[in-house]
A and B are shown apart, each in its own frame.
Chain A
């Protein structure tokens, strides 16, 4: 979905490096989410944000941090990458009212050596 973009699409890095994954959306949605996908584990929520001043931890936030720079931008950082953070990372957005579907970005494949 071109309305939700992620950069980079692929990244290979080394243990200990700091990495930032970026997400931008043009859907005008208030809520944004970061997930990681691992084979056999589905998608797990890392962080979510209901608006610029409201950021919440998900089920697997250890080792990650986020920044909501604007309504349209939500970045995920790995302060010191480790190999078990190798995964596919997805950003998603949803409207703020009610129970709405989430719209996903194309994903970032991160490999930590």
Chain B
């Protein structure tokens, strides 16, 4: 069965600090990987996705993620965070024909001005 682990539940950073949020998944077949963001009081929005090709994926708002197949990881990074990046971040994986998304438990990021 597929599963997704996000090891950081709460992260607090100061503005301009670098960000890396961990995501590990378990699934034996071909996977598709996603990072979604949920700003306070809003719905989930897609940050970036990986289907195939270049394992370094660039998304919106300066975010990027690297798919490392050997480590079953898809960590999210941003070189310099802003206060407006305060949100909850969810890693998700889908595989097989059903396109069901399996979500991690989320990481709550607070960026202090």
Contact = CB atoms under 8 A, between A and B. Distances in A.
B51 A99 contact: yes
Task: Bin chain A's interface residue count.
Answer: 20 to 34
Interface stretch (B13-21, B42-50, B63-71, B72-80): B42-50
A74 B99 CA distance: 18
Given A58-B100, A107-B43, A41 B105 contact: yes
A105 B46 CA distance: 12
Contacts of A42: 90, 103-106
Interface in B4-43: 9, 32, 34, 36, 42-43
Interface in B54-113: 90, 94-95, 98-101, 103-106
Task: Bin chain B's interface residue count.
Answer: 20 to 34
Interface stretch (A43-51, A60-68, A77-85): A43-51
Given A43-B90, A48-B100, A106-B43, A101 B34 contact: yes
Given A41-B105, A43-B90, A99 B43 contact: no
B23 to A, nearest CB: 12
A94 B103 contact: no
A34 to B, nearest CB: 12
Nearest to B36: A104
Task: Specify which of A44, A45, A98, A101 lies most central, judged by the most chain B CB atoms within 10 Å of its CB.
Answer: A101
